[in-house]
């Protein structure tokens, strides 16, 4: 008992101060950014009415956003390894918030489309940056836990956005919900001044100075996909894209699946889908804990992906009652979406400090963006031809088993190993 207390106490002592400050500021910034991006979905009905366009125009706009984001996440990662983590994070947060705030002033659908695409693309670039910052600033025994919990910015941001939209839309219209985004610019400047640069990156700069090298290194994208890093970079990229093909299909189309195959009304389908996300939030906490303290992150990731595939299949083909659908789809979200809490930290840990943000972007976030880009196009094509059940089986269940199998080829590292000892 005494030995256990001795082991835990120093870790908590390490966690206080700079690590928790870094985590809190990154979570706060990412939650605000996610809330900004969530506002667009609540504004769609008003946008359609005011600009007199069809839903297919909004669908194309969303796909274009993911397409541009596929490039910006990689560029953001490379600039982060070149210029510094905190500087690029604060800049992207401020620029994205500016684009979102300007939604309120768009006078036609073309201007709105440009602002949406730019705002989303800039926001997407922040995810690998904040993951890298938290990884490098956290004590080893809490590193994966904190980096995993950072992913809670997604459900927290969507919840915050829904509160803001519901309080303004009916009274002031769709444009009103975007004005608060301008306040995020001031928050971004404050975060840029308050957030400390991770010591690992700062030490790299000092080392280069001591050896008489240029402080700012060259961009490292080619190095990532060459030599000893190529295999793990490609595996993480492809596996991340495949599993997010499934996540994208679930996110975009589960309400429609419920209305067209299970006989639910639009409002009941939306309510059920929202409840599954609430249930599924527990998966982020569980996977972070299990990946850090019970299993390795790689094994936890594979287990969560395959369990998500199993519950997804059961929900699609066997659940008929509302209670059954809620339970099985909630478990799907718990494991499938919860797997992101171990995937992002694991990808960052696989690469050295000089490549970490680039790798998190190019092998992690780029895969996410590609999966989300392909999902609506592929599902929209398949549903009229083979129906909902086979479509979700081909684009949702099978890709998850394949993604889990790909991650088996990643080296199974101990979760509490020091970052510098990985290489």
The pLDDT of 401-409, averaged and rounded, is 97
Given a cut of 50, is residue 404 above it in pLDDT?
A: yes
Given a cut of 50, is residue 7 above it in pLDDT?
A: no
**pLDDT score at 5:** 41
Question: Which span out of 7-11, 19-23, 277-281, 350-354 was modeled with the highest average pLDDT?
Answer: 19-23
Q: How many CA atoms lie within 13 A of 103 on its CB side?
A: 32
Name the residue with higher pLDDT: 214 or 209. Answer: 209
Look at residues 190, 180, 79 and name the one whose alpha carbon lies nearest to residue 126. 79
Given a cut of 80, is residue 2 above it in pLDDT?
A: no
**pLDDT score at 257:** 85
The class of domain 14-219 in CATH terms is mainly alpha
Given a cut of 90, is residue 343 above it in pLDDT?
A: yes
**pLDDT score at 3:** 40
Name the residue with higher pLDDT: 144 or 306. Answer: 306
- Compute the CA torsion angle 247, 249, 252, 257 (nearest 10 deg): -130
Look at residues 295, 291, 308 and name the one whose alpha carbon lies nearest to residue 343. 291
Name the residue with higher pLDDT: 163 or 186. Answer: 186
Phi-psi domain of 86 (left: phi exceeds 0; alpha: psi -120 through 50; beta: other): alpha
Task: Give me the residue spans of the domains in the chain.
Answer: 14-219, 222-423
**pLDDT score at 393:** 96
Give the whole-angstrom CA distance, residue 364 versus residue 301: 14
**Domain 222-423 maps to which CATH number in 3.40.430.10, 2.70.98.10, 1.10.3080.10, 1.20.1250.20?**
1.20.1250.20
User: For all residues of the chain together, what is the average pLDDT?
Assistant: 84
69-103: per-residue pLDDT in tens? Answer: 888 888 888 888 888 889 999 999 999 999 999 99
């Amino acid at each position: 008992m005494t030995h256990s207390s001795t082991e835990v106490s120093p870790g908590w002592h390490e966690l206080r101060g700079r690590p928790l400050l870094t985590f809190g500021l990154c979570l706060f910034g990412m939650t605000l950014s996610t809330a900004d991006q969530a506002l667009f979905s609540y504004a769609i009905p008003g946008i359609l009415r005011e600009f007199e366009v069809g839903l297919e125009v909004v669908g194309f706009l969303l796909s274009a956003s993911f397409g541009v984001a596929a490039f910006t996440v990689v560029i953001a990662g490379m600039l982060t390894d070149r210029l510094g983590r905190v500087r690029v994070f604060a800049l992207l947060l401020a620029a994205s918030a500016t684009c979102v705030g300007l939604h309120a002033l768009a006078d036609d659908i073309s201007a709105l489309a440009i602002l949406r695409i730019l705002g989303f693309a800039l926001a997407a670039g922040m995810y690998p940056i904040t993951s890298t910052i938290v990884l490098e600033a956290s004590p080893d025994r809490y590193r994966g836990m904190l980096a995993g919990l950072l992913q809670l910015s997604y459900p927290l941001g969507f919840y915050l956005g829904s509160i803001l939209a519901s309080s303004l839309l009916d009274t002031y219209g769709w444009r009103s919900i975007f004005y608060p985004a301008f306040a995020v610019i001031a928050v971004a400047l404050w975060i840029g001044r308050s957030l400390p640069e991770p010591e690992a990156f700062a030490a790299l700069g000092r080392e280069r100075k001591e050896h008489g090298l240029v402080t700012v290194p060259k961009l490292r994208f080619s190095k990532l996909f060459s030599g000893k890093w190529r295999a793990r970079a490609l595996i993480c990229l492809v596996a991340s894209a495949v599993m997010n093909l499934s996540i994208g299909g679930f996110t975009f189309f589960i309400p429609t699946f419920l209305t067209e195959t299970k006989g639910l009304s639009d409002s009941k389908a939306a309510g059920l889908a929202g409840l599954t996300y609430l249930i599924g939030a527990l998966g982020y906490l569980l996977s972070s804990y299990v990946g850090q303290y019970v299993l390795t992150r790689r094994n936890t990731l594979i287990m969560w992906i395959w369990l998500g595939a199993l519950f997804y299949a059961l929900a699609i083909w066997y659940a008929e009652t509302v209670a059954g659908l809620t339970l099985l789809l909630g478990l799907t979200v718990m494991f499938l979406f919860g797997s992101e809490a171990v995937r992002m930290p694991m990808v960052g840990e696989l690469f050295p400090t000089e490549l970490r943000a680039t790798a998190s972007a190019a092998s992690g976030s780029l895969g996410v963006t590609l999966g989300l880009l392909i999902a609506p196009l592929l599902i929209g094509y398949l549903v009229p031809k083979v129906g909902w059940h086979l479509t979700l089986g081909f684009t949702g269940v099978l890709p998850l088993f394949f993604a889990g199998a790909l991650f088996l080829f990643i080296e199974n590292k101990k979760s509490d190993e020091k970052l510098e000892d990985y290489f």
